[in-house]
Copies of this chain bind each other. A is one copy, B any other.
Amino acid sequence: MNKTAAIIGGGVIGGGWLARFLLNGWDINVYDPDPSAERKISAVLENARHALPMLYEYALPEEGRLIFCKSLKDAVKDADWVQESVPERLDVKHKVFADIQTHCRLDAVIGSSTSGFKPSELQQEALRPEQIMVTHPFNPVYLLPLIEVVPSAKTGAQYIENAKEMLTSVGLFPLHVRKEIDAHIADRFLEAVWREGLWLIKDGIATTEEIDNAIRYGFGLRWAQMGLFETYRIAGGEEGMAHFVTQFGPCLSWPWTKLMDVPELTEELTKMLADQSDAQSADKSIRELERLRDNNLIAIMRALKQQGTAAGALINAHESTFPKPMGDSAVMRSVSRSIPIDWTDYNGHMNEGRYGQIFSDAADAFMIKIGADPAYIDAGNSFFTVETTVKYIQETLAGQHVNVDSRVILSEGKKVKLFHQMQGEDGDILATCEQFMLHVNLSTRKSCPPLPEVQQRMEALVITHTEAI
């Protein structure tokens, strides 16, 4: 049975949580008295439906069902997870938590998206403080994996474990913040940088665009994959982190930053900021900037995924839990996925070259199903592709969902021929591929028949698959 999340408070953050759960197969109950909530959530959901499936080489689980509830009670009463994303006022949050705890299940996790309050503050006056923790996300919530999980001493250990497990199951990374602290962890860095940035603008040293360029052409690229300390470990060289501290420590007492002081947010400074930001980005609407950001994030995260590192390692681990495509007896469904943004040209059409890739993925999936899996390869056996013929029938678009059905049409000793057919959701054929493969002994690098088990499965399939054509 699907799990259920109650989303209390829509908007960009609540909507992002909603999309993350819904697209991972959860049922959703939303409660937000704001009459524009449904419109706002639809906008976030549209972005998320475009973006999230593109991270993966497999289709996400089927979407859950989405209900806009008339009361908070209806929303929370059956929920496994209750996520609060209401305005940052403590009295408002206390009232909402009281309502939630009157109606929710005793075993539900209650998470707050707050960046401004500590869990012990949220728990004041609560019926069951042990049920409450901070689960602080980062925008766009449907793409970025980080969730700061911040319990207080009163939060129950079982609730924390349940929270971490459920977050991981929808592809998020729970960073357990072991001691509560103002602004948790990440926002403390963001505030330090934001504050220094404001001074640089106020003092006329740099514009918003120059600062953004200083970040995204330099250390931003480093931080996207290793963060701060591992990067500095490298800078310390073989002598290690202690050497780095000795070398760069002294700078800390130099008067580099103006952080001791808070720049006053005068009308003048606010206008300066807004004007510079307009000069930098006003040629694009917020909607266009969101799409640009999401496409960039997808491309970066997919690049890390292909490397199997940093955020990409998280995505691979999550993807491994997805249901794999099945097919019927006559064919095997080897691929079921959406076409990601990095596979398409500037017109949004799938690049010719990526057809080769999807059919190569299809062959890999096929081989695993008949037993020529990683263990088979580790034991020194493999199929090498000798020749591939692709026929391009219809154009395929970014974001389009496609399926590949695969057949084995020849199996004679060391020789195998696969035939793949790529279809859209309506069953229209988009492309086909015939692959001629030879079975190879990886030690001798010479061709030879497959091991008997694989050979037998292959031969049995030839009969089913060729009869069905």
Residues of A within 8 A of B (CB): 12, 115-116, 138-139, 144-146, 148, 173, 175, 177-179, 181-183, 185-198, 200, 203-206, 208-238, 240-242, 245-246, 248-249, 251-257, 259-260, 262-263, 265, 270-271, 273-274, 276-278, 280-281, 285-286, 289-290, 292-293, 295-297, 299-304, 306-311, 314, 341-342, 346, 351-361, 363, 384-392
Contacts and interface: CB of A to CB of B under 8 A. Distances in A.
A212 to B, nearest CB: 3
12 contacts: A178-B206, A185-B211, A191-B251, A194-B232, A217-B310, A223-B223, A295-B307, A296-B309, A299-B306, A354-B356, A356-B357, A388-B392
The 7 residue pairs across chains A and B that have the minimum distance between CB atoms: A356-B356, A353-B357, A212-B227, A146-B218, A220-B223, A224-B224, A259-B259
B293 A270 contact: no
Contact of A303 (B186, B299, B385): B299
Contacts of A225: 216, 220, 293, 296-297, 300
A145 to B, nearest CB: 5
A204 B259 CA distance: 22
Given A218-B144, A274-B241, A293 B226 contact: yes
Given A220-B220, A233-B289, A297-B225, A185 B214 contact: yes
B146 A240 contact: no
A36 B387 CA distance: 51
Contacts of A179: 203-205
Given A351-B357, A352-B356, A302 B303 contact: yes
B385 A387 contact: no
A349 to B, nearest CB: 11
Contacts of A233: 277, 281, 286, 289
B217 A146 contact: yes
A202 to B, nearest CB: 12
A254 to B, nearest CB: 7
A110 to B, nearest CB: 22
A327 B355 CA distance: 28
Contacts of A144: 217-218, 221-222
